[in-house]
Amino acid sequence: MSILIKGGNLLLSNSDGHSWARGDVRVAGSQIVAIGPNIEPQAGDMTIDAVGKMVAAGLVDTHAHLREPGREDQETIATGTKAAAAGGFTTIACMPNTTPPLDSGAVAAAVLQLAKEAAIRVVPVGCVTKGRQGKELAEIGELVEAGVWGITDDGNPVEDSELMRRALEYCRPFRIPVISHAEDPRLMGQGVMHEGFISTILGLPGIPAEAESVMVARDILLAKATNSWLHVAHVSTSESVELITRAKAKGVRVTCEATPHHLVLTDEAVRGFDTNTKVNPPLRSREHVQALRVALADGTIDCIATDHAPHTLEEKDCDYRQAAFGLIGLETALPLLITHLVKPGFLDLPTLWDRMSARPARLMGLTDHGLAIGKRADITIVDLELEKEVEPAKGFSRSQNTPFAGQRLIGWPVITIAGGRVAFGEVE
Ligand code: DOR
């Protein structure tokens, strides 16, 4: 199969960043074979008119929950990857808090078998501990062999510092990170939202910012001591950002991600008691959000990760205290960030693409990624002027737990090509 994308505004991937050019892109099989100002169509080419649209490397997500095996009522690899393709993603990492958990080569192989049929590429993440029980290390060697990009007990922290230290030591020769779900369970307590003015007004138990930051501090110290790679998941506090900034400056191998919801919402969103605003870590106050935005712009935050966390209506249609933590994010990540960060002039598109495509690809070791000749044909075409309402019922995810329902957003993916095949969008 061959595809010719005509007349787009190309955001080309270079070794030192991105550059704009007007032109065409030709895809043959699973590769980008030509990029240029006027490529002649060949017999059998499917032609896509991209005039007025942005054409760029596909988005990459280091952190999504696809729930399979075990919770197919929330999401499956098939539905989650369709949602991802609709959001402009061409590779996503699936998190290991499944049932059974992804703690062995056998479970990783089963997930990869299911992912063969998926709309886009799926890279698994393995567990740190067997059964996510926090007691003994998982079969890390097997997991690495199966192709995990990192290991984490995400959803839960690795409470035992000695075990965390051993996990970091074990991963060093494999050059993969331990991905920290940074949370001190005692400080978290029974909290359901950020601890502060709004939690006090609403009478809901709070989660202090330090519940995250103290664990970020611990994990940085352990990464430094073991000379290993720490990746901090869903960073949400200004103190975490400060600690990571200092650690990076001192040469500690630490990288991190932030989610779209932590970058565009504050704890004010909880005022209506919409349980779709309940997420872990919680939506923070304005000062924290501001610190995250600055860190995203200056590159301290390496990448944006959706933390797509699907939950059924039953798990969300209840009292705020009882509701499950998590919200879906694959289909809205890009338009949210274009609307709230790019359009107001806070971030430019090449920087957004660095954080949503180039850098996450680099972290995950995807050397075949980028809008350049010879790379894998993972391409997202975006209409930067398309304005649409978020309508979860019309989405591809099996779940609908988003706090953004009804919001009008601007800048949506219109076509996604993954591995040379159209994974999303209308083509002739
Ligand atoms: O809100 C969250 N939901 N945070 C997590 O860390 C896990 C996730 C889930 O799996 O539902």
Ligand 1 atom 5, closest CA? 155
CA-to-CA distance for 45 and 38, rounded, in angstroms? Answer: 15
Ligand 1 atom 2, closest CA? 326
**Cα of 55 to ligand 1 centre, how many Å?**
32
Residue 310's pLDDT is what?
98
* Ligand 1 atom with least separation from CA of 156: 6
8 A C-beta contact, residue 150 and residue 96 = no
Model confidence pTM above 0.75: yes
Active site residue 307: yes
**Cα of 325 to ligand 1 centre, how many Å?**
6
Tally of CA atoms within 13 A in the half-sphere of 232 that contains its CB: 35
Residue 428's pLDDT is what?
73
What are the two backbone dihedrals, phi and then psi, of residue 190, each rounded to the nearest 5 degrees? -100, 20
Strand residue runs (E) in 37-131:
45-49, 54-57, 59-64, 89-94, 121-124
Domain boundaries, the chain: 59-327
- The active-site residue out of 307, 317, 348, 354 is 307
**Of 255, 265, 78, 70, whose CA–CA distance to 176 is shortest?**
255
CATH architecture of 59-327: Alpha-Beta Barrel (3.20)
Q: Is the CB of 97 under 6 A from ligand 1?
A: yes
Q: Is the CB of 65 under 6 A from ligand 1?
A: yes
pLDDT tens for the 428 residues of the chain, in order: 899 999 999 999 998 899 999 999 999 999 999 999 999 999 999 999 999 999 999 999 999 999 999 999 999 999 999 999 999 999 999 999 999 999 999 999 999 999 999 999 999 999 999 999 999 999 999 999 999 999 999 999 999 999 999 999 999 999 999 999 999 999 999 999 999 999 999 999 999 999 999 999 999 999 999 999 999 999 999 999 999 999 999 999 999 999 999 999 999 999 999 999 999 999 999 999 999 999 999 999 999 999 999 999 999 999 999 999 999 999 999 999 999 999 999 999 999 999 999 999 999 999 999 999 999 999 999 999 999 999 999 999 999 999 999 999 999 999 999 999 999 999 87
Q: Are strands 2-14 and 17-28 parallel, antiparallel or unpaired?
A: antiparallel
**Cα of 281 to ligand 1 centre, how many Å?**
8
Q: Is the CB of 326 under 6 A from ligand 1?
A: yes
**Cα of 363 to ligand 1 centre, how many Å?**
21
**Of 80, 77, 62, 63, whose CA–CA distance to 399 is shortest?**
80
Q: Are strands 421-424 and 89-94 parallel, antiparallel or unpaired?
A: unpaired
8 A C-beta contact, residue 350 and residue 9 = no
